[in-house]
Structure 1
Amino acid sequence: MNTFILLLLLLLSSSCFAVDRITFSTPIKDSETIVSDKGMFMFGFFSPVDSTGRYAGIWYNNIPVQTVVWVANKDNPVEDMSGVVSMSEDGNLVVMDGRRRVFWSTNVSVSASANSTWAQLLDTGNLVLQGTENDGEFFWESFRNPSDSYLPRMVLESDARTGRTIKITSWKSPSDPSPGNYTAGLAADPLPEVFIWKDGVAVWRTGPWNGQIFIGFPDVDTGLFLNEFALNNDNQGKVSVSYANDSGKYHFKLDHEGYISQKSWNEEKKNWSVELKLPKTECDEFGKCGQFASCNPRRKPLCRCIKGFEPKNYTEWNRGNWTSGCRRRAPLKCERRNNGNGNGGEEDGFLRLKKMKAPNSTQRSDANEQECPRSCLQNCSCTAYTFDRGYGCMFWTGSLFDMQEFRVNGIDLQIRLANSEIKKPNKLPVVVTIPVIGGTFIIVFCILFARRKATKRREAEKDRKAKLVFERMEAFSSGNPTQAHLINQAKLKDLPLFEFQVLAAATDDFALANKIGQGGFGPVYKGKMEEGQEIAVKRLSRASGQGLEELVNEVVVISKLQHRNLVRLLGCCIEGEERLLVYEFMPKKSLDSYLFDPLKQKLLHWKTRFRIMEGICRGLLYLHRDSRLRIIHRDLKPSNILLDEHLNPKISDFGLARIFHGNEDEAANTRRVVGTYGYMSPEYAMEGLFSEKSDVFSLGVILLEIISGRRSSSFHKDEETTNLLAYAWKLWNEGKASELADPAVYDEGFEKEIRRCVHISLLCVQELANDRPSVSTVIWMLSNENSDLPEPKQPAFIARKGVSDAESSDRSSRKASINNASITAVTGR
């Protein structure tokens, strides 16, 4: 009997510890805590080191080193252990002491009674206030009122329209969590970047966002550091940045000295591992060297005026006080003209500085690579520019501030100088007095002359081939003004050209043993260059319905894009009848080779599948919104999603993509419908209308295939439904959405997440384009697991029984399709 009572008490005790919420009838006292559903975080009262004050806060659970990530009453501690966290009469969450004095409150307009609201601690570390009358939305959340820690799924935000910002704030000291001197957050104007401020004055910054990363990190692996960051910009003044990491025991912390550290829990050593701490060197200090000067931590002294400039105050400069910076030695043409010197004389030029931190106050231009320097010269205020295919033309006006020289990373900064400051070759007199020296000089000259002539001959041949390619590209792009405009931007010598013999040698004459795939364009071969680089070579098949037009389109589009979730194009080859594209090699091949293989699909665990879904969405968001071009892919499907060695997804095959400029309509019409049945949106397949929302439809189908492990068209005649969309809709209406999940990866622990992903997928495949969410909204819905989602409407069931996703919808042409990864073309009806 005693044993039974003991077991019962233990069970009751464990159930109490599992409670993750505070209600009006179940407040918590100082000695009590609540724990998130999966035991990741704990909420209760604590005292910092060397302090007797009691604070209500959130810390990691099951970690021996108490690590507090959020504090409620941070500037108003309870003086004894009589503290209580409860729901107030007006429905707010409050911290009180034994005399019912309020020390902190969520202090929001709840419009509900205390009995209908509650506070819940989520496994993300977010403490939320919600109720029965707000349809699942949060009245208040700690993620939007952070302390000194930046957690996965948390958002830093800047909204110019409302003035609302979400920043993290340091503690005053390790024993005092009240707001300290340092804050860190997002500044959106003119380009988004993260700053650390001390008492409102900038002390460090990340450099501007280029669509993939922040480009101002000193000599660190930015790909490793930032590979989970995503930035959303509505282009109307609201910008936010968030990051996701599979490990819950991972965060950024802004300490009381102004350093921000990237920390992850080391289970073996039982301590926090600091993976990166910024600012890293003296040169990271904002504006260390003043204007028109660069800082190098490997140089003594640290600061140096850039070429063409001199210290403003030599006395201070020589004493190591560089704050006054430097000034220009020779005036620019505009200044000379304004001073009455005729037309100003010779045109200004540019000095190239490599691997530089982008100066402060970056601005962006729509100018192409050729126009970028010209647009800077035509603007008297422009003092520098840079151009990169990832973020386009960026320029600076006025003084250049906060520059640093990196060993790796950085940009190539073009500094505007007066013509007299541009380096010219030295003309040194050469006196030849000994016949032997003269003879040697003649021999060396002849060798160099012959080598130079041979080099010029090779360059001329390359120019000739490039010109031929260029002319053929122009011919095929005459009906597409946007594409023709982009081709005209290209420099002939910069076209990524490979010789056919080099590619044949790399693939062992396109040996069958090196064949790794087959598409509508033709076979794909693995190759290895002489220097050891592995490549993938796509070779046009003579039976293919595609050709130079698709190749031109892909070269123009993807060569200007850089993102971790887009495959990288290394070059192309057009010789005679041969047309080839050369890509980075993806060792895991395409997503469909794993997803629909009974053995390999078991390797795609649910977390991996979820990460793949997020990666595809981020790549698509870059195409639609973050890249310098706006691109509609038009042929998204698993065979066009490649996987790297870590199973990270990369969108490929841009032969059918369409480019939009910012001033073009949101949607377009085409008479030539291209794509693959089962993935085409109804408005595109039936009317030739395509937009970002037609890519969203394809994305929804792919998400359903990733969840289920089944092809959209894999349903047999004896099954109740015609395709995957119909099957998913049937399960959704029956309240069995989680049953769609692939049995190989189904886990009850992820049931809620699986059901949510099915919900999001169905929103993407709704029949009307306006009903579908944007890709940025899809990413937000995937990242915010407790946000309320609209009910999906019935999807469009455009795939028919007996028609596979590989079959061409052009039944009149009946072109041969080698496998189910082919690209098809139809005539719109």
Structure 2
Amino acid sequence: MNYFLPFTKILLFCVVVFLCSLSLPCRGKDTLTLGESLQDGDTLISKGDIFELGFFTPGEPNRRYIGVWYRSFSTKLETILWVANREKPVTNLSGGALALSPDGNLIVTNTGSDVLWSTNISTPISNNQSRIVQLLADGNIVMNNSDGTTVWQSFDYPTDTYIPGMRVGLDLQTGVNQVFTSWKSKTDPAPGNFTLGIDPGRSTQLFVWDGRRPRWRSGRWNGQIFIGIEKMIPTYMYNFKLSNYDLEGKMYYYTGFNVSHRYMISWDGTDQHLIWSETIRSWTRFFAEPTTPCELYNRCGNYATCTEIDGKAGLEPSCTCLKGHIPAKETEWNNGNWTSGCVRRVPYKCEKEGNNGTDGFWRMQRVKLPDSSVLEPVVMDEAGCQASCLNNCSCKAYSYVSGIGCLVWGVHLVDMHIFTHGGNDMYLRLASIELGQSKKKSAVVIIVAVLVSSFALLACTYLLWRCLKRKKEKILIYELMPNGSLDTFLFDDEKKRQLDWRTRYKIIEGIARGLLYLHRDSRLRVIHRDLKVSNILLDEEMDPKISDFGLARIFGKDDNELNNTKRVVGTYGYMAPEYAMQGIFSVKSDVYSFGVLLLEIISGKKISTYYNHEFSLYLLGYAWKLWYENNLIELVEPAIRETCSIAEVVTCVTVALLCVQDHVNDRPTMSTVLIMLESGTAASMSPRQPSFAAIRGPTNTDSSTFELANASITVFTGR
């Protein structure tokens, strides 16, 4: 009786194999051949199990579309990367199919065999060849003849998402521009109003268009970043390359394949860079433009700059005419309608006297350079760039940009934004009468500056000679930071009012970028080991600079991550537990110090502040308690509570608490910290209570708070 059991198993296996050969639901199939069809409910799965092709419904259940999505990340609807029948959905829930037609086209049909979408290629299948469709491991759908010739691929027809590995761009010979087109709405993949692509004018800029009108532009590509994006750093682009042209006469952009990154033009016209975070199992928005008023194209009109200021409803634009220019329509301008822009007040000298006129240039700093610049390829330095512009009366401004070269403007100066940090210098052409008064003032300033500098140089030389005479030492030299250290503002009852929330947030981001550079982007990895408020210096724009590297340790890129020392140096309160107790330090030690620093910036209180509470809490514990009770507004410096962004406060405090986790592996890296600050995703995370949060403090006091003694640089020596 049991003799038939093996035979039964073999027969059952054969039946399964036979059925799989007739239909597509078998898991892992990535191809479609002539005569086969992909029915609703079936899918193709790429090698590596990363991408999936099939039917999906984004909104109304009676609308079905063929698309590609990430199989391994999040849910299907969060990561639709490509859509075939965007304009004609299948309306019969069980009647859609994707198939290879007899003429060799890939088509989407409904129950009545109506063709809703087709690849529309005119290359027929020859008698001695076959054709196959395959979903590749990089998410590309390719249609190949049996000889390996590719006759069509989905990467040539993008929808709204750029997948790393795609090569998309502008054909310089035909003028055909491969652009990304947004969805019509969150739930409607039909083509929307917004497109993203390379500037047809060949300027190496990316544009977002609203219909035919520019909505946003990136500025030119300098080989590492787009210079018109204020917060962009080279790491944002992750091996992004933009080629001026190739052998086929195309300008294209390309990034190496990386499944954890994608770029898209969203339905609301925002260009976004999204990164998959394994820590929180979610896509986070690492970068988005435009998101502020001045990022919108030509917000202030011609010959005017846009600067963002804090308003009642958030950031608001403030427009200013360029030097030597006045509003074109003064009444409208004064009423806040800046669309007419500005006009020149005095003609150029060269317009009256030819090129022998005495025009000059006014230097502008931290500028998002205007649109419609022309590259002067034969000019090799800044002096030549100035001469080239001065000798051409139609030249209105010039800028010499590292990685690009000499840029000149012979048309209207449009779409200018004054950045808080970054940007480029631009030299604006003005008639001599506009520069005369400024030159006199400049001469006085220069004379005074020379005298002061000479005295300072003599004093420094004398001090340096005295030091070297006593002992040979290495001396750290810093640029002048007129606003001094951060602690002089944070803990001073009068000065702290100068640090509004926007300034504090800028300082937080600046410190985070500085640490990221030290930990990852510099030639050698630097661990600071004494990061604290008194070691953060502020320049005239309140931009932070990390200082005092006397205790820093320098390592090669390949050196061991964890290091040990018997001499524990640093400052009480800022030291990570493993460093203070065991002498073990790493980049995560600086991350811990950054978390403490972040809480001090938000609260305006020193880490050593003790709160006379039933739990005897210090600042770390008090912050965690308020976070746990969802009452973080109580942590914020009282002087800025009414104007701060609650969402940003929650993000910053959560990031701080993640940074001060007890265990090294539970703390984020500085690159992750920047992602969380930019995207706001930290607000959904749950940090553990720090062990140092509830250290028993003094109990014989009636005051609500008092200060523990400040410990400066401390040295522990093991016995």
- TM class by shorter chain equals 0.5 to 0.7
Indicate the residue corresponding to 1:355 in structure 2.
366
Indicate the residue corresponding to 2:292 in structure 1.
281
Instruction: Compute the displacement of 1:37 (Å).
Output: 0.7
Instruction: Compute the displacement of 1:284 (Å).
Output: 0.9
Q: 1:195 aligns with which of 202, 207, 212?
A: 207
Q: 1:63 to 1:425 in 2, by over 3 A?
A: closer
Q: 2:152 aligns with which of 134, 140, 162?
A: 140
2: distance between equivalents of 1:51 and 1:38? 30
What are the equivalent positions in structure 2 for 1:211-290 lying under 5 Å apart? 211-218=223-230, 220-234=231-245, 238-246=250-258, 248-290=259-301
2: distance between equivalents of 1:140 and 1:311? 53
1: distance between equivalents of 2:322 and 2:55? 55
What are the equivalent positions in structure 2 for 1:558-573 lying under 5 Å apart? none
Instruction: Compute the displacement of 1:137 (Å).
Output: 3.6
Which runs of 5 or more residues in structure 2 are unaligned?
Answer: 311-315, 480-519, 525-552, 561-586, 588-719
Instruction: Compute the displacement of 1:9 (Å).
Output: 8.4
1: distance between equivalents of 2:460 and 2:476? 20
What CA deviation, in whole Å up to 9, does each residue of 1:128-149 have, x standing for no partner?
A: 111113xx34211111101111
Indicate the residue corresponding to 1:207 in structure 2.
219
Q: 2:188 aligns with which of 162, 173, 176?
A: 176
Q: 1:47 aligns with which of 57, 75, 88?
A: 57
Q: 2:433 aligns with which of 394, 415, 420?
A: 420
Which runs of 5 or more residues in structure 1 are unaligned?
Answer: 431-444, 460-498, 510-527, 534-563, 569-584, 601-644, 646-829
Q: 1:84 to 1:336 in 2, by over 3 A?
A: same
What CA deviation, in whole Å up to 9, does each residue of 1:746-784 have, x standing for no partner?
A: xxxxxxxxxxxxxxxxxxxxxxxxxxxxxxxxxxxxxxx
1: distance between equivalents of 2:265 and 2:452? 62
Q: Do residues 315 (structure 1) and 331 (structure 2) align?
A: yes
Indicate the residue corresponding to 1:441 in structure 2.
none
1: distance between equivalents of 2:211 and 2:317? 28
Residue identity opposite 1:39 in structure 2: D
What CA deviation, in whole Å up to 9, does each residue of 1:358-403 have, x standing for no partner?
A: 1001111121222111110001111111113322211111210000
What are the equivalent positions in structure 2 for 1:547-586 lying under 5 Å apart? none
Indicate the residue corresponding to 1:30 in structure 2.
40
What are the equivalent positions in structure 2 for 1:484-495 lying under 5 Å apart? none
Aligned to 1:370, the other structure's residue is in SS state helix
Q: 1:190 to 1:456 in 2, by over 3 A?
A: farther
Indicate the residue corresponding to 1:124 in structure 2.
138
Instruction: Compute the displacement of 1:160 (Å).
Output: 2.7
Instruction: Compute the displacement of 1:276 (Å).
Output: 1.6
Residue identity opposite 1:197 in structure 2: W
Indicate the residue corresponding to 2:351 in structure 1.
335
1: distance between equivalents of 2:475 and 2:456? 24
Contact 1:128 1:140 in 2 (8 A): yes
Q: 1:228 to 1:446 in 2, by over 3 A?
A: closer
Q: 2:454 aligns with which of 452, 474, 496?
A: 452
What are the equivalent positions in structure 2 for 1:778-789 lying under 5 Å apart? none
Q: 1:137 to 1:405 in 2, by over 3 A?
A: farther
Residue identity opposite 2:81 in structure 1: V
Contact 1:46 1:54 in 2 (8 A): yes
Instruction: Compute the displacement of 1:227 (Å).
Output: 3.7
Indicate the residue corresponding to 1:470 in structure 2.
none
Contact 2:225 2:232 in 1 (8 A): no
2: distance between equivalents of 1:250 and 1:10? 38
2: distance between equivalents of 1:10 and 1:452? 91
Residue identity opposite 1:452 in structure 2: S
Q: 1:151 aligns with which of 152, 158, 163?
A: 163
Q: Do residues 530 (structure 1) and 480 (structure 2) align?
A: no
Contact 1:190 1:362 in 2 (8 A): no
Contact 1:148 1:254 in 2 (8 A): yes
Residue identity opposite 1:43 in structure 2: L
Aligned to 1:224, the other structure's residue is in SS state helix
1: distance between equivalents of 2:284 and 2:449? 58
1: distance between equivalents of 2:25 and 2:105? 25
Indicate the residue corresponding to 1:384 in structure 2.
397
Contact 1:171 1:180 in 2 (8 A): yes
2: distance between equivalents of 1:73 and 1:416? 52
2: distance between equivalents of 1:260 and 1:333? 43
Aligned to 2:182, the other structure's residue is in SS state strand
Instruction: Compute the displacement of 1:449 (Å).
Output: 4.9
Residue identity opposite 2:454 in structure 1: R
Contact 1:89 1:113 in 2 (8 A): no
Instruction: Compute the displacement of 1:424 (Å).
Output: 2.5
Contact 1:188 1:239 in 2 (8 A): no
Aligned to 2:309, the other structure's residue is in SS state coil
Q: Do residues 93 (structure 1) and 115 (structure 2) align?
A: no
Indicate the residue corresponding to 2:491 in structure 1.
none
Contact 1:22 1:120 in 2 (8 A): yes
Q: How many residues align?
A: 465
What CA deviation, in whole Å up to 9, does each residue of 1:244-300 have, x standing for no partner?
A: 253x13211212211121112233433321112211211111111111100112266
What CA deviation, in whole Å up to 9, does each residue of 1:696-752 have, x standing for no partner?
A: xxxxxxxxxxxxxxxxxxxxxxxxxxxxxxxxxxxxxxxxxxxxxxxxxxxxxxxxx
1: distance between equivalents of 2:426 and 2:105? 53
Contact 1:190 1:361 in 2 (8 A): no
Instruction: Compute the displacement of 1:6 (Å).
Output: 8.0
2: distance between equivalents of 1:450 and 1:412? 26
Instruction: Compute the displacement of 1:344 (Å).
Output: 6.9
1: distance between equivalents of 2:68 and 2:239? 24
2: distance between equivalents of 1:5 and 1:172? 52
What are the equivalent positions in structure 2 for 1:699-714 lying under 5 Å apart? none
Aligned to 2:337, the other structure's residue is in SS state coil
Residue identity opposite 2:307 in structure 1: N
Q: 1:15 to 1:84 in 2, by over 3 A?
A: closer
Instruction: Compute the displacement of 1:92 (Å).
Output: 1.6
Q: 1:139 to 1:268 in 2, by over 3 A?
A: same
1: distance between equivalents of 2:170 and 2:26? 40
Q: Do residues 393 (structure 1) and 403 (structure 2) align?
A: no
Contact 2:372 2:411 in 1 (8 A): no
Percentage of identical aligned residues: 35
Instruction: Compute the displacement of 1:455 (Å).
Output: 4.8
2: distance between equivalents of 1:371 and 1:137? 50
Aligned to 2:102, the other structure's residue is in SS state coil
Residue identity opposite 1:209 in structure 2: W
Q: 2:375 aligns with which of 345, 364, 368?
A: 364
Q: Do residues 61 (structure 1) and 71 (structure 2) align?
A: yes
2: distance between equivalents of 1:272 and 1:446? 55
Aligned to 1:373, the other structure's residue is in SS state helix
1: distance between equivalents of 2:261 and 2:453? 57
Residue identity opposite 2:54 in structure 1: G
2: distance between equivalents of 1:293 and 1:271? 41
- Superposed CA RMSD in Å reads 4.0
Aligned to 1:413, the other structure's residue is in SS state strand
Contact 2:108 2:117 in 1 (8 A): yes
TM-score by structure 1 length?
A: 0.51
What CA deviation, in whole Å up to 9, does each residue of 1:591-618 have, x standing for no partner?
A: xxx8xxxx99xxxxxxxxxxxxxxxxxx
Contact 1:336 1:344 in 2 (8 A): no
Instruction: Compute the displacement of 1:328 (Å).
Output: 0.9
1: distance between equivalents of 2:360 and 2:455? 29
2: distance between equivalents of 1:235 and 1:369? 29
What CA deviation, in whole Å up to 9, does each residue of 1:85-113 have, x standing for no partner?
A: 11111222111122222111111133325
Q: 1:39 to 1:323 in 2, by over 3 A?
A: same
What CA deviation, in whole Å up to 9, does each residue of 1:189-210 have, x standing for no partner?
A: 2521110111121111100112
Aligned to 1:387, the other structure's residue is in SS state strand
Contact 1:357 1:410 in 2 (8 A): yes
Q: 1:5 to 1:406 in 2, by over 3 A?
A: farther
Indicate the residue corresponding to 1:73 in structure 2.
85
Instruction: Compute the displacement of 1:213 (Å).
Output: 2.0
Residue identity opposite 1:530 in structure 2: L
